[in-house]
């Protein structure tokens, strides 16, 4: 973190009254928890807050109290914005299509992100990109530097953010500082068991979703002598099941747990011709990040993604993805 960034952030917030907090078009546990943490912090500072995301919050994130305050519409008037959990301009495609991106770029904007990929939001006033395990961890460090208020609910959200992106403090990006922060928040009263119990209760699956998960498992394909597992999810399934459960999340862990698999890839094919890829690689095989970057995406070395909107045939891109993945895996062994 640049020494000037905290003070620049503090100045923008001080000068603003109405602030929009934005998540990208692919919200996850870290982005939502970070947005809710910033809403609580800035609200306790007397600011008027507005939460924005161009897509509906997925059902598996709705265990977080406050998810329903996130709107798909921007307010007509605001003074500044805070973007959480991304510094990639391409992840605001729907904001750009709506014609409202200019509203954001014309105001002071703060980016709070933790991904180690190159930032492409070049219009931000302050770009605070620190390679820690989650955006929640970054927010906590800023709160300590700037003496931001940390209410009990804020502490809960920060822990939710950290636990989400660290997979329960098990990823390679989890540092000693990450664990210390969680411990400090537990000392403040955060109950991790209660948070996880609430998440599990809200994420119970219907019998229909469990049946569909079985169908997905049957369709998993294997390439590169079983090192790469893939699943293709067409638009009709996305449309049918996504509001209850993200289809790719249903099977990603199972794909990675198959003996011999180093990398799991879930492709989603949308009706407008675009498609996305969610990438998860196993510990010791840090290829997900480089693979995503090859196709213009980003994320972590073990968890990342990209999307294709150029109109290239899906099968052509999929073959290239598998070929590049194979090359990256081979390079690890040389």
**Mean pLDDT of the 18-45 span:** 96
pLDDT higher at 173 or 125:
125
d(CA 24, CA 294): 20
pLDDT at 324 > cutoff 80 = yes
Contact in structure between 273 and 142 (CB atoms under 8 Å): no
d(CA 110, CA 88): 13
pLDDT level of residue 119 (50, 70, 90 thresholds): confident
**Mean pLDDT of the 232-238 span:** 96
The model's pTM: 0.85
d(CA 43, CA 49): 7
d(CA 65, CA 39): 12
Residues in the chain: 334
Ranges assigned E (strand) in the chain: 18-22, 48-52, 70-71, 80-84, 109-113, 126-129, 221-223, 228-233, 263-269, 275-281, 298-299, 303-308
Q: Please write the tens of the pLDDT for every residue from 276-316.
A: 999 999 999 999 999 999 998 887 888 889 999 888 999 99
pLDDT level of residue 334 (50, 70, 90 thresholds): confident
Q: Please write the tens of the pLDDT for every residue from 175-216.
A: 999 999 999 999 999 999 999 998 888 778 889 999 999 999
d(CA 242, CA 269): 13
Domains of the chain: 5-200 (3.90.1640.10), 207-332 (3.10.310.30)
φ, ψ at 277 (rounded to 5°): -135, 125
Contact in structure between 109 and 74 (CB atoms under 8 Å): no
d(CA 177, CA 184): 10
């Amino acid at each position: 973190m640049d020494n000037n960034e905290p003070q620049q952030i503090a100045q923008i917030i001080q000068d603003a009254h109405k602030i929009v907090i934005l998540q990208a078009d692919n919200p996850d546990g870290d982005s939502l928890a970070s947005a809710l943490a910033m809403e609580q912090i800035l609200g306790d500072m007397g600011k008027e807050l507005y939460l924005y995301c161009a897509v509906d919050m997925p059902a598996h994130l709705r265990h977080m109290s406050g998810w329903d305050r996130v709107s798909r519409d921007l307010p007509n008037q605001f003074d500044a914005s805070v973007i959480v959990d991304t510094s990639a301009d391409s992840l605001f495609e729907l904001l750009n299509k709506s014609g409202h991106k200019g509203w954001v770029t014309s105001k002071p904007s703060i980016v709070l992100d933790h991904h180690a990929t190159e930032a492409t939001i070049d219009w931000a006033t302050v770009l605070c990109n620190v390679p820690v395990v989650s955006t929640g961890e970054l927010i906590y460090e800023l709160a300590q530097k700037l003496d931001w208020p940390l209410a009990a609910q804020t502490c809960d959200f920060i822990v939710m953010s950290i636990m989400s992106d660290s997979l329960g403090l098990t990823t390679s990006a989890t540092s000693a500082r990450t664990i210390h922060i969680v411990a400090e928040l537990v000392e403040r009263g955060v109950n991790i068991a209660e948070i996880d119990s609430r998440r599990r209760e809200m994420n119970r699956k219907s019998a229909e979703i469990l049946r569909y998960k079985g169908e997905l498992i049957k369709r998993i394909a294997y390439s590169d002598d079983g090192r790469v597992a893939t699943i293709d999810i067409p638009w009709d399934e996305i449309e049918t099941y996504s509001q209850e459960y993200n289809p790719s999340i249903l099977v990603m862990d199972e794909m990675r747990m198959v003996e011999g698999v180093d990398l799991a890839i879930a492709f989603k094919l949308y009706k407008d011709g675009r498609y996305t890829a969610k990438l998860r690689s196993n510990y010791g095989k840090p290829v997900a990040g480089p693979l995503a970057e090859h196709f213009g995406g980003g994320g972590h070395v073990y968890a990342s993604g990209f999307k294709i909107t150029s109109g290239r045939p899906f099968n052509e891109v999929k073959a290239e993805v598998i070929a590049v993945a194979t090359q990256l895996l081979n390079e690890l062994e040389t």
